[in-house]
Amino acid sequence: MYVEGTLDLLELIIMHPFLKPDDQQKEVVSMAQKAILRYFPVFEKVLREHGQRFLVGNQLSLADVVLLQTILALEEKIPNILASFPHLQEYSVKVSNVPTIRKFLEPGSKKKPPPDEIYVRTVYNVFMP
């Protein structure tokens, strides 16, 4: 349930670079509204009320990794997106500090940068030659 919901939001982020430049800023506003009004309140409530370390218990799960990925991608576009969500802020720091995740997030790791014009052009050339 958590993974599917988070992937709905992540899909908007993934598609953002492929929008026309005129539509990109409008989509950032739309993503922020959806995250702040629909998605983040649910996760904030879960983290506040269930008393466990992670979303679905006391062990890291796919749900945690997908949510962190979504939060980090949104923060690249909207730096203060978590301003009204203290439990999500704490959670993001906690998950980011899991040793293997922290190593992946460090500069010089295999983490790919956000898509740029070259990436978008390559995708179009591969899928729509």
Domain assignments of the chain as residue spans, ordered by start: 2-127
Write down the pLDDT at residue 92: 97
pLDDT in tens, 10-21: 898 888 888 888
DSSP letter string over the chain? -HHHHHHHHHHHHHHGGGS-HHHHHHHHHHHHHHIIIIIHHHHHHHHHHS--SBTTBSS--HHHHHHHHHHHHHHHH-TTTTTT-HHHHHHHHHHHTSHHHHHHHSTTSSPPPPP-HHHHHHHHHHH--
Residue range 2-127 in CATH 3.40.47.10:
no
Write down the pLDDT at residue 114: 80
Write down the pLDDT at residue 117: 87
pLDDT in tens, 16-54: 888 888 898 899 999 999 999 999 999 999 999 998 989
HSE-up of 85 (CA within 13 Å, CB side)? 22
Q: pLDDT band for position 71 (50/70/90)? A: very high
pLDDT in tens, 87-115: 999 999 999 999 999 999 988 877 777 88
